[in-house]
């Protein structure tokens, strides 16, 4: 593990990269303790502050965790799906908000990936998934539900559908995409009429899931995607009309 003094990058960035590479290619294994900050400083021939900045970079990516006190130090972290998922949501949310991704493009991506889950969900769904989904549908049908609560319930519903696929990789990727869309979805005002239509489709999806009918799930998801895009377009059109005034 060496750093190149001619590299233009900051020392702390170089050191972080060296350690990161060592973790990725297996030279440092999970739960292994890194040398102490003082030792690393000596190894890389830099000050302790520089080493610390490098370690903070790695901690921000959940690659290491640190513990104080005797026997403490920096340890290679076993990155969990949950941690990765949290980071994914942060990144995806910012990507969408900073890069002017259109509502349609985000919608297409989200529902396309959800369709990809359908065959697996139809096969692996269990009573818990179905119960969660029906409970969320029930919540959605309550009158006087705020738009915010409605969206949260919508996310919970779709999250259950994704989790039904029983594939952590799909769940991780998908849940990120679904939750990252929430800020965009929150722009929409869901009328009683549109909620009714969405609940209808949610019910269709849940029924099809119970019947292990993957094709019907996919069909309803396409309808839901189309309908959601219509709602989104209406909001955008209304905004443009308002800005022209």
50 binds, among a second copy, DNA, none (CB under 5 to 8 A by kind): DNA
> In b/e form, how buried is each residue of 149-167, taking b as 16+ CB within 10 angstroms?
ebbbbbbbbbbbbbbbbbb
**Half-sphere exposure (Cβ direction) of 117: Cα atoms closer than 13 Å:** 31
Site stretch for a second copy (CB under 8 A), options 21-29, 35-43, 194-202, 237-245: 21-29
To a second copy, the closest distance from the beta carbon of 216 in angstroms equals 17
CB of residue 133 vs a second copy: minimum separation in angstroms? 20
3 state SS of 73: strand
Quote the least distance from Cβ 10 to DNA, whole Å. 4
Q: Is 9 in the site for a second copy (CB under 8 A)?
A: no
Query: Judged by CB under 7 A, does residue 68 bind DNA?
Result: yes
Find the binder of DNA among 17, 18, 43, 53 (CB under 7 A): 53
The correct pick among 5, 127, 143, 169 for binding a second copy (CB under 8 A) is: 169
Residue 36 DSSP one-character state: P
* Contact between 119 and a second copy per CB under 8 A: yes
């Amino acid at each position: 593990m060496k750093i190149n003094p001619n590299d233009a990058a900051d020392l702390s960035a170089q050191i972080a990269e060296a350690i990161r590479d060592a973790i990725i290619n297996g030279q440092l294994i999970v739960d292994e303790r890194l040398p102490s900050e003082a030792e690393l400083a000596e190894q890389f021939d830099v000050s302790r502050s520089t080493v610390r900045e490098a370690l903070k970079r790695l901690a921000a990516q959940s690659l290491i965790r640190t513990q104080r006190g005797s026997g403490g130090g920096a340890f290679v972290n076993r990155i969990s799906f949950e941690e990765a998922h949290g980071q994914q949501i942060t990144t995806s949310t910012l990507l969408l908000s900073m890069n002017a991704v259109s509502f349609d493009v985000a919608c297409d991506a989200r529902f396309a990936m959800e369709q990809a889950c359908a065959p697996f969900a139809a096969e692996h769904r269990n009573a818990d998934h179905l119960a969660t989904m029906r409970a969320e549908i029930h919540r959605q049908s309550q009158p006087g539900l705020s738009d915010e609560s409605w969206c949260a319930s919508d996310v919970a519903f779709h999250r259950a559908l994704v989790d039904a696929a029983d594939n952590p990789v799909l769940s991780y990727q998908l849940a990120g995409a679904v939750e990252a869309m929430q800020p965009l979805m929150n722009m929409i005002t869901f009328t009683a009429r549109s909620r009714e239509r969405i609940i209808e489709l949610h019910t269709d999806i849940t029924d099809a899931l119970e019947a292990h009918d993957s094709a019907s799930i996919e069909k309803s998801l396409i309808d839901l995607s189309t309908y959601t895009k219509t709602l989104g377009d209406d909001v955008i059109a209304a905004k443009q009309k308002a800005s022209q005034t």
